[in-house]
């Protein structure tokens, strides 16, 4: 893991500010969602990208009955129902 030498304090509401350089580098815009993970003593932030609940693909994902699904899995499900 690479240290950037950037230190931020947590405010009274538990918030931190991500530096502009990091938001630009990782294409994080205002109102983008971030996923939060932990790994032992580390907190990991990752830009949230919805993915298919079946295969994990994130390309052209759409919502179907509250779940993310990709076109390929949708097609496979449709062909399964036709048989």
How many distinct structural domains can be found in the chain? 2
46: which DSSP letter? Answer: E
CA pair distance 55, 45, nearest whole angstrom: 22
Q: Cβ–Cβ contacts within 10 Å for residue 37, how many?
A: 9
Instruction: Note the pTM of the prediction, 2 decimals.
Output: 0.62
Do 1 and 39 lie in one domain? The reply is: yes
**What residue numbers bound the domain in which 20 lies?**
1-48
Do 56 and 39 lie in one domain? The reply is: no
The yes-or-no verdict on residue 74 having pLDDT over 90 is: yes
49: which DSSP letter? Answer: -
Given its phi and psi angles, is residue 5 left (phi above 0), alpha (psi -120 to 50 degrees) or beta? left
Provide the terminal-to-terminal Cα distance of the chain, rounded to the nearest Å: 50
How confident is residue 82, by pLDDT bands cut at 50, 70 and 90?
low
* CATH number (domain holding residue 40): 2.10.260.10
Do 7 and 18 lie in one domain? The reply is: yes
């Amino acid at each position: 893991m690479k240290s950037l030498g950037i230190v931020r304090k947590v405010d009274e509401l538990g918030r931190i500010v991500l530096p502009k350089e990091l938001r630009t580098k990782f294409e994080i815009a205002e109102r983008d969602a971030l996923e939060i993970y932990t790994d032992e003593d580390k907190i990991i932030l990752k830009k949230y990208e919805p993915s298919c609940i079946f295969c994990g693909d994130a390309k052209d994902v759409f919502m179907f009955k509250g779940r993310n699904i990709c076109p390929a899995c949708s097609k496979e499900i449709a062909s399964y129902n036709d048989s």
